[in-house]
């Protein structure tokens, strides 16, 4: 059992949730999503995100449009769909519950048994 794998798995698990959350605040193209995730240190390598985006898009949670760019080729802008919004809300609830539960478990003191 490699610690790196476990870490990567933890990160990957919340990645979908984070992508949806980023798009909640407005449409974004891939590089913007990437830079936000990287700033938050949620992403080590960029490669991971592409299959995720495609999957979310195929699941109908995301939509995209091509937008001309002043510098370079057109960009792919992602936007949250109606379903995506609902999905995100549900994830939000789950996330809060999960954080609470994890906190409870990890901060429990041995004497309180």
Partner 1 sequence: MNKTININLGGVFFHIDEVAYQKLKLYLDAIRRSLSDDPQGRDEILNDIEHRIGELLSERIKDARQVVNENDIDEITKIMGKPEDYLVDEEIFEDEPKYKSRVSSKKLFRDAEDKFLGGVSSGLGHYFGIDALWIRIIWIVLVVAGFGTGIPIYILLWILIPQAETTAEKLQMKGEPVNISNIEKKIREEFQDVSSRVKDGVNDVTSKVKNSEFKKKASNKAKSGVQEILDTLGSILITLFKVFGKLIGALLIFIAAATLIGLIIGAFSLGSFEILGFSNDFIHHPPFFYDSVLPTWLLVVFTFIAVGIPFVVLFMLGLKILSNNVKSFSTTTKLSLLGIWIISLLGLGFAGINFAAQTAYDGVFNQTEELPVVATDTLKVKMIGDENLSNRSELRRRYSYETVYDNDVRKLYSNRINVDVKSTDKSNAFVKIRKESSGKSRQNANSNAETIEYQFNLTNQDLLLNGYFLTDFKNMIKEQQIDITVYIPLNTIIYLDGSTRTFLDDVDNVQNVHDRDMPKHYYKMTENGLECLDCDPSIFGERYKRENEHFKLNIDNNGVEINVNDGDNNAAIKINENGLKIE
Question: Binding residues for partner 1, per CB under 8 A?
Answer: 1-2, 5, 9, 12-13, 15, 30-31, 34, 44-48, 50-55, 58, 72-74, 76
| Distances 49 to 9, 19, 67, 88 between C-alpha atoms, Å | 14, 9, 20, 17
Q: How far is the CB of 113 from partner 1 (least distance, A)?
A: 30
| Distances 47 to 50, 52, 53, 94, 98 between C-alpha atoms, Å | 6, 10, 11, 27, 27
Q: How far is the CB of 92 from partner 1 (least distance, A)?
A: 20
Q: How far is the CB of 66 from partner 1 (least distance, A)?
A: 11
Task: Show the tokens assigned to 41.
Answer: 């240190």
Nearer to partner 1, 55 or 89 (CB): 55
For residue 91, give every residue at least 6 positions away whose Cβ sits within 8 Å of its Cβ, in sequence order, or none: 16, 17, 20
Nearer to partner 1, 4 or 112 (CB): 4
Nearer to partner 1, 73 or 110 (CB): 73
Nearer to partner 1, 2 or 109 (CB): 2
Q: How far is the CB of 56 from partner 1 (least distance, A)?
A: 11
Task: Show the tokens assigned to 101.
Answer: 């539960």
For residue 8, give every residue at least 6 positions away whose Cβ sits within 8 Å of its Cβ, in sequence order, or none: 44
């Amino acid at each position: 059992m490699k610690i790196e794998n476990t870490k990567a798995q933890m990160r990957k698990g919340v990645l979908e949730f984070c992508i949806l959350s980023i798009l909640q605040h407005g449409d974004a193209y891939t590089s913007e999503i990437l830079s936000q995730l990287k700033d938050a240190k949620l992403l080590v390598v960029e490669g991971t995100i592409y299959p995720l985006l495609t999957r979310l898009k195929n699941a109908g949670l995301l939509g995209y449009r091509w937008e001309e760019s002043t510098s370079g080729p057109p960009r792919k802008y992602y936007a949250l769909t109606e379903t995506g919004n609902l999905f995100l809300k549900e994830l939000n609830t789950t996330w809060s519950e999960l954080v609470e539960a994890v906190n409870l478990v990890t901060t429990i003191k041995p004497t309180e048994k």
